[in-house]
Amino acid sequence: MPRPSEESPFRLLVEGSDDKYSVINLMARHDFDWDDEARERPYVSAEGGVERLLKAVPVAIKGTYQRIGIVLTRTRILPAGGPR
């Protein structure tokens, strides 16, 4: 599968490489054609952790992207019965 270029006008920021491949596979399962080079595809950027992802957001917003997406996963485990 050819990778979308970093020059893509669409940017998707995710925490890490697991999130990156999860999003790519989820989109593919919903008929997004990652192999269609004629279609603008988002560049999915694995930032390497939540802190780095949050630092990348203002930079991306100031960039020249037409669209920006952010995927932030919740990793904190709550006690049985929810938060207290």
Indicate the pTM of the whole model.
0.81
- 42/77 Cα distance (integer angstroms): 31
Within a domain: 36: yes
C-alpha 54/C-alpha 52 separation (Å) is 5
Which amino acid belongs to residue 3? R
What is the average per-residue pLDDT within 21-43? 91
Q: Are strands 67-71 and 43-46 parallel, antiparallel or unpaired?
A: unpaired
Domain that holds residue 27: 13-71
Tell me, yes or no, whether 84 lies in a domain.
no
What is the chain's mean pLDDT, rounded? Answer: 87
Digit-coded pLDDT (tens) for 34-64: 888 888 899 999 999 989 999 999 999 999 9
**Count of H-run helices and E-run strands, the chain:** 2, 3
Residue 33 in domain? yes
Share of the chain above pLDDT 90, in %: 63
Residue carrying structure tokens 């999003």? 23
Average pLDDT over residues 15-31: 93
What pLDDT is stored for residue 79 in this prediction? 65
